Amino acid sequence: MMMKFRDNFGKTLNFLHFHRRRAMVSASFLTVYSYACYKSTDATNEIFRMGVAGSLANLVVESMFHFVDTVNVRAKLSDKSISSLNMARKIYLKEGIYGFSKGFSACFYGSVACGFIYFSLYKLFKSHFKDYLGDSYNIAWTFFLASFVAEFFTLIVYYPFDLVKCRLQSNNF
């Protein structure tokens, strides 16, 4: 019994040692992000509040569906035609629950950045265009510009990580 505990403890230490840089970056980011979320509740800058709320909402939605995306990507990259349910079973049997969360860090950072940029730019553009053009402007331009800029900057960071995720997942199966 003691030997099994020592062996599992050693594996945990090796895992932590291997991922310590990732853990430090994640902990630092989460600390700053949590502080920004806390401070945004009583911030006077409405654009900042809107950006933080949007990033949090985007993060929640992306997190809820990340496992579905993982199963979908692996099923598409599989050599043989396989259903999503069978791929989910295969991932679980081979890698456990951890297999569904692979590539989540890229999804995490990308969704936070995209949500913050989109919602803060939407608020900024909406007020700026309304002041500049009056009531005659079409609000669809606000949606388009905010979305375009947010996706552009997010994809510069997120897309290369997503490609690496797909490549790594295709090597596993």
Q: Which domain holds residue 151?
A: 45-172
- 122 burial via Cβ count (<10 Å: 0-12, 13-18, 19+): buried
Q: Residues 117, 148, 161, CA angle at the centre, nearest 5°?
A: 70
Q: Is the pLDDT of residue 86 over 80?
A: yes
Domain shared by 11 and 89, yes or no = no
Determine which of 2-6, 62-66, 103-107 has the lowest per-residue pLDDT on average. 2-6
pLDDT value, residue 145:
87
Domain shared by 31 and 71, yes or no = no
Domain shared by 35 and 73, yes or no = no
Q: What is the mean pLDDT of the chain?
A: 78
pLDDT range class, residue 71, cuts 50, 70, 90:
confident
Determine which of 22-31, 48-57, 121-130 has the lowest per-residue pLDDT on average. 22-31
- Mean per-residue pLDDT, 153-161: 72
pLDDT value, residue 15:
61
Residue 115 contacts residue 58 (beta carbons within 8 Å): yes
pLDDT exceeding 70 applies to what percent of the chain? Answer: 80
Give the total number of structural domains in the chain. Answer: 2
Domain shared by 34 and 91, yes or no = no
pLDDT value, residue 159:
64
Domain shared by 56 and 94, yes or no = yes
Domain shared by 152 and 106, yes or no = yes
Domain shared by 21 and 86, yes or no = no
Domain shared by 168 and 121, yes or no = yes
pLDDT range class, residue 18, cuts 50, 70, 90:
low
Domain shared by 19 and 85, yes or no = no
Residue 126's CB: how many other CB atoms inside 10 A?
A: 18
Closest CA to 118 of 153, 147, 155: 147
Domain shared by 38 and 52, yes or no = no
Closest CA to 87 of 98, 76, 103: 76
Domain shared by 21 and 61, yes or no = no
Domain shared by 92 and 140, yes or no = yes
pTM more than 0.85:
no
